[in-house]
């Protein structure tokens, strides 16, 4: 992808429009996009649960997957913050889902 690599360093809880919730490993820039998405009705709510999470191997595995497979919007790009697109990141079974779950478990979330 043609963008700057983003490190992930926080965990947030996202409330979908239907009221169901999920956790996401993110960063402050992506959280800002989520806040805009909530303000515009794409999701109901986002809340940061934990910041400065440890840079473990599972976190790096998940982070690399996200950076390689998704266009990460940024508050520095006017098109992104004027028209945020909400995309719930998939967590494919296997190495990626396991890494995601390990990060949540290590941070006592979920």
pLDDT in tens, 51-109: 999 999 999 999 999 999 998 887 777 777 777 778 999 999 999 999 999 999 999 99
pLDDT in tens, 16-46: 999 999 999 999 999 999 999 999 999 999 9
Find tokens 């169901």 and name the residue. Answer: 20
Q: How many Å separate Cα 50 from the centre of its chain? A: 12
Tell me how far apart the alpha carbons of residues 50 and 54 are, in angstroms, rounded to a whole number.
Answer: 11
Nearest to 24, CA basis, from 75, 60, 62, 52: 62
- The pTM of this model reads 0.90
Tokens representing 13 are 């809880």
Q: Who has greater pLDDT, 94 or 1?
A: 94
Residue 1, pLDDT > 50, answer: no
Tell me how far apart the alpha carbons of residues 32 and 25 are, in angstroms, rounded to a whole number.
Answer: 13
């Amino acid at each position: 992808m043609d963008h700057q690599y983003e490190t992930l360093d926080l965990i947030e809880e996202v409330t979908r429009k239907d009221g169901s919730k999920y956790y996401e490993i993110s960063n402050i820039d992506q959280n800002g996009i989520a806040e805009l998405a909530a303000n515009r009705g794409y999701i109901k709510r986002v809340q940061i649960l934990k910041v400065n999470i440890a840079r473990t191997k599972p976190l790096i595995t998940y982070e690399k997957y996200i950076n390689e497979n998704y266009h990460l919007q940024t508050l520095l790009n006017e098109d992104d913050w004027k028209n945020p697109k909400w995309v719930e990141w998939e967590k494919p079974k296997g190495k990626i889902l396991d890494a995601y779950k390990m990060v949540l478990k290590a941070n006592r979330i979920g």
